[in-house]
Structure 1
Amino acid sequence: MGIVVIGSLNMDMVVRAERAPEAGETLFGQAFALSPGGKGANQAVAAARLGAEVTMIGRVGKDSFGSGLLEVMKQEQIQTDYILMSESESTGVASIVVDGAGENRIIVVPGANLEMKPEDIAALEAVIREAGIVVMQLEMDLEMCEAAAAIAFRHGIPVILNPAPARALRSELLQHVTYLTPNETEAGILAGISVESIDDAERAARLLLLKGVRHVIVTLGSKGALIVNAAGSLHVPGFPVQAVDTVAAGDSFNGALAWQLTRGKTLDEAVRFANAVGALAVGKTGAIPSLPRLEEVKRFLREAAEAEPGTEE
């Protein structure tokens, strides 16, 4: 069964500079690029490039950015029948500053992404019902996300929720989430505590389990990821790489995680594979342009296994 991604489609306007400007300061940048993105689109492409059958649900504007995003989705062999064009809103955009260390600062203007409402997703219940897994983020209307998760839950379809950008979430939503995938900052915001270490991440995850989530997977950047559920906790180490651009690192992780889970992999196997995909993504610039294909990931894992005897692919 395939992956249904319900999420945002944005055009990313990426500026590279040695550092981000302070308030009132103007800096010269080093490069500028327009890059198709949006957390939903990134996650859909990440899964599709690994070999997954992906259906994308979302909305774009009737403008050049929207047409460009639709064309990218089609080129990636993603089902686009449920990406609609808004009559009144422009395509979502993201303004991204990438500094010399590869870290990013992002402002998103959602535009047409916010037009999808609960009644719109209710009309697509048959699509959700046939999914192997549903993937969502929070760059969309929150009530629509709640409705989508409830539909999936009603039909026994697992839900991955990447809670970004982080915001307060009702227990009604969290109770319908199978896999919650915050980064350290998002885990802290959702749990209401400061997350400065792996131990802090586990405490935050435990608090989120109490709200009804079945599995919490805290992504830890270069340190890998932490799986926390009723069975216990497991730290899955990351892969040492030189980060060039962390845009879409989390999205690549989520797309890979979804694909691995639909293939019947255990959660720790799926997370290790997703760590590898994320490591490859940070080594390239851009969002969708950075997302690796399956052969590249397999080669990376083989090389990692050879460098660390005893590690299995």
Structure 2
Amino acid sequence: MSASDFVSGAWDYFSNANAGTPGFQLPSQPVDLSHFARPGSGHLNVTWLGHSSLMVNIDGYRVLTDPVFEKRVSVIGPSRFNGAVPLDIHRVSTVDAVIISHDHYDHLNKYSVQQLTGRTNRFIVPLRVGARLVKWGVPEEKIVELDWWKTYSIDEALTITATPAQHFSGRGLTDRNRTLWVSWVVRTPYHNLFYSGDSGYFDGFKQIGRKYAPFDMTFIECGAYNRSWSQVHMFPEQTVLAHLDLGGSILHPIHWGTFNLALHPWYEPMERVTAAADAMNVSIATPVVGETTIYNSAIPAARWWRQAMAAQMDWISEN
């Protein structure tokens, strides 16, 4: 992003009334932990906790992605607008792996890491992110750092591979791009999933697809887009293209409906990504926060955001 694009984007963000947050309470449901705790192979279920946080049970292995259990992720950043986190972190028992895509505040949360330290033996992170976890009290022996295309095996059945993404890193003014950013492939002999983290649309998705497809489910960002930062975040139509590049079966959009991080209305990502998915005959999961998607069994498909969207648009037109 050029300096002029940054200034222009910042001005638009702070000056425009763009329906970036809903004017009404969005639907959600308490997390059913029985899905996360289910043992044994032959199943894949994923619970959306909002934004990019997922609870994954892949053949009895429990994996958390970019867990954020706080309402506000930084001092000056936005807070969750879709209500409280649908799960008390203290109800989570053991986790086989916590995977982090990059060090931005909405993906790497200090409170959540510290609360999970005693509940998992492995934090799998991009290169150089481990040092921050050590400062937060995570024992070094619990941290695995991976470069792009490197794989860590939990055991003979579960492998986690760091794959490329087109993004950036840094939590302040002086540490830009000093740590790596990644996407993830999580695979067992029975199931295979892709998690994008944050990324612009790029040829890397085709490369990942050629190497690791097919994917039973892909979890790909669809929100926080703008022309000025199109290299590091996708437009919703590109989310669907990335899914097709990857050879995915079920698309589960993430990185939307939780934090106001862009200039578009809060509901626009899902309106656009579902329209694109329908046009391209892509199966898409649309859970509410706290809801579980069960692969090959229960794929949420309701366009549940439209009621709140319509109510907000009516209110704006009347006022």
Q: Which has the higher contact order (CA 8 A, sep 6+)?
A: 2
* Shared fold (TM-score, shorter chain, > 0.5): no
Q: What TM bracket, shorter-length normalisation?
A: 0.3 to 0.5
Taking structure 1 as the reference length, the TM-score comes to: 0.39
Taking structure 2 as the reference length, the TM-score comes to: 0.38
